């Protein structure tokens, strides 16, 4: 579905106040919108904070174990070097660099969907599964909220929380993304404010725990925002936390250094319930291609980043937090 029919379909749903789910790819080339009753026939299951079209499954794997074959270090280091060279030239201040790593598991994509623990989950039959901890935007009572997630550390590191909060590199990275999201929201809303800054959350899986920092940013939408929802959405895409700043130039660099088109990875998906919007960023993403499974992961690169640490962060994010 191209942008024009996507916008027309979304406008019809909102005008009639019919609940629907929207799914937008990173490049905004193939956005999708479906009424809730249409989703399963198109191969989609979703669960957004308990709002779901998926039946309960009685028998689930006790844990999801992934055998990881990371992207080659030489491949990552080459792209990192080029990305950081652009940063040092002033072409970008923060660049989210991502790569696919091959994974093997006894679980199916559908079993991963049901077994994973995350507020934003999406499954497309024989294609991909997403179990994302990151909100893109929420719209409630005329206000728009965003929760950029940037800054990660292994929770088992001694004094991990303090190390994360006191890291100059992680602090700069988070400040940059908060500033970017604040500017993004200012394009569509007034009274934009950082209402909660750099709080820490723990994310668990069967194999590790990581700490991540997030912030809450809020803006006031104009009366009648519903009529212009598509324009609001598309102005904010792609999400700043998985692209970088300044956004347009950084996107050009990402396209030149990453080895694969992102597709629906790092896009967004969400639900309109007839009144409000909630949506997530499509990270923690496993896709199936040529009978192989690929886990897409990465992290933010700054002038202070080192390739060794960023490569390890890419690997650390390859996990399934289970119920």
Residue 214 CA to residue 299 CA, distance in Å, equals 14
321 located within any domain: no
Residue 2 CA to residue 29 CA, distance in Å, equals 6
Range in 116-125, 185-194, 196-205, 305-314 with the lowest mean pLDDT = 196-205
Integer angstrom CA distances of residue 7 from 38, 58, 117, 272: 17, 38, 31, 14
Domain count, the chain: 1
Mean per-residue pLDDT for 69-76? 97
Residue 261 CA to residue 27 CA, distance in Å, equals 9
Residue 179 burial by Cβ neighbours in a 10 Å radius (0-12, 13-18, 19+): middle
309 located within any domain: yes
Sorting pLDDT into bands at 50, 70 and 90, what band is 150? confident
289 located within any domain: yes
**Which has the higher per-residue pLDDT, 238 or 167?**
238
Asked if the model's pLDDT at residue 143 lies above 80, the reply is: yes
Taken in order 53, 134, 68, 81, the sign of the CA dihedral is positive
Predicted pLDDT at 206: 54
**Which has the higher per-residue pLDDT, 73 or 57?**
73
Q: Is-above-0.75 flag for pTM?
A: yes
Asked if the model's pLDDT at residue 10 lies above 80, the reply is: yes
Tell me the DSSP string of 56-104: P-S---S----EEEPPPHHHHHHHHHHHHHHHHTTS-SEEEEEEEEEEE
Give the structural domain span for 84.
3-316
Q: What DSSP designation does 238 have?
A: S
Residue 308 burial by Cβ neighbours in a 10 Å radius (0-12, 13-18, 19+): exposed
322 located within any domain: no
Mean per-residue pLDDT for 65-70? 95
Tell me the DSSP string of 129-151: EEEE--EEEEEETTEEEE--EEE
Sorting pLDDT into bands at 50, 70 and 90, what band is 171? confident
Percent of the chain with pLDDT over 90: 78
Sorting pLDDT into bands at 50, 70 and 90, what band is 87? very high
Residue 273 CA to residue 17 CA, distance in Å, equals 8
Predicted pLDDT at 53: 94
Mean per-residue pLDDT for 70-88? 97
Residue 84 CA to residue 93 CA, distance in Å, equals 9
Asked if the model's pLDDT at residue 58 lies above 60, the reply is: no
pLDDT tens-digit readout, 277-321: 999 999 999 999 999 999 999 999 999 999 999 999 999 899 998
DSSP strand pairing (94-104 vs 244-245): antiparallel
Length of the chain: 323
Quote the strand ranges of the chain, DSSP E.
20-24, 32-35, 44-48, 51-52, 67-69, 94-104, 120-124, 128-132, 135-140, 143-146, 149-154, 190-204, 209-220, 244-245, 268-272, 277-281, 285-289, 292-301
Mean per-residue pLDDT for 71-89? 97
323 located within any domain: no
270 located within any domain: yes
Residue 188 CA to residue 120 CA, distance in Å, equals 24
Predicted pLDDT at 94: 92
164 located within any domain: yes
Predicted pLDDT at 157: 85
Q: What DSSP designation does 263 have?
A: T
Mean pLDDT of the chain: 92
Mean per-residue pLDDT for 62-88? 95
93 located within any domain: yes
Residues contacting residue 71 through CB under 8 Å, at least 6 positions apart? 99, 100, 101, 314
The enclosing domain of 49 has a CATH number of 3.60.120.10
Asked if the model's pLDDT at residue 207 lies above 80, the reply is: no
Mean per-residue pLDDT for 75-79? 98
Predicted pLDDT at 160: 86
Buried b (16+ CB within 10 A) or exposed e, 124-148: beeebbbbbbbbbbbbeeebbbbbb
**Do the beta carbons of residue 276 and residue 254 sit within 8 Å?**
no
Predicted pLDDT at 113: 94
Q: What DSSP designation does 53 have?
A: S
Residue 41 CA to residue 49 CA, distance in Å, equals 22
């Amino acid at each position: 579905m191209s942008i024009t029919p996507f916008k027309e379909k979304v406008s019809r749903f909102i005008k009639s106040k019919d609940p629907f789910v929207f799914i937008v790819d990173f490049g905004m080339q193939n956005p999708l919108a479906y009424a809730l009753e249409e989703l399963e026939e198109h191969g989609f299951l979703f669960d957004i904070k308990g709002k779901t079209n998926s039946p309960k499954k009685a028998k689930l794997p006790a844990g999801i174990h992934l055998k990881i074959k990371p992207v080659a270090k030489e491949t990552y280091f080459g792209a990192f070097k080029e990305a950081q060279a652009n940063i040092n030239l002033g072409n970008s201040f923060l660049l989210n660099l991502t790569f696919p790593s091959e994974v093997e598991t006894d679980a199916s994509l559908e079993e991963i969907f049901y077994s994973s623990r995350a507020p934003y989950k999406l499954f497309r039959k024989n294609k991909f599964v997403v179990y994302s901890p990151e909100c893109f935007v929420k719209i409630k009572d005329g206000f728009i909220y965003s929760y950029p997630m940037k800054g990660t550390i292994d929770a088992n590191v001694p004094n991990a929380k303090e190390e994360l909060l006191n890291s100059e590199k992680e602090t700069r990275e988070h400040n940059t993304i908060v500033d970017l999201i604040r500017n993004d929201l200012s394009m569509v809303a007034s009274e934009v404010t950082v209402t909660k800054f750099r709080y820490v959350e723990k994310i668990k899986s069967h194999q590790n725990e990581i700490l991540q920092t997030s912030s809450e940013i809020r803006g006031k939408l104009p009366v009648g925002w519903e009529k212009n929802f598509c324009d609001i959405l598309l102005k904010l895409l792609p999400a700043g936390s998985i692209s970088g700043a300044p956004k347009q130039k950084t996107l050009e660099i990402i396209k030149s250094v990453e080895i694969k088109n992102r597709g629906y990875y790092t896009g967004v998906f969400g639900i309109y319930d007839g009144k409000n919007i909630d949506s997530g960023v499509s990270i923690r993403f496993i896709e199936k291609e040529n009978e192989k499974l690929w886990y897409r992961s990465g992290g933010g690169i700054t002038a202070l980043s080192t390739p060794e640490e960023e490569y390890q962060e890419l690997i650390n994010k390859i996990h399934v937090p289970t119920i």
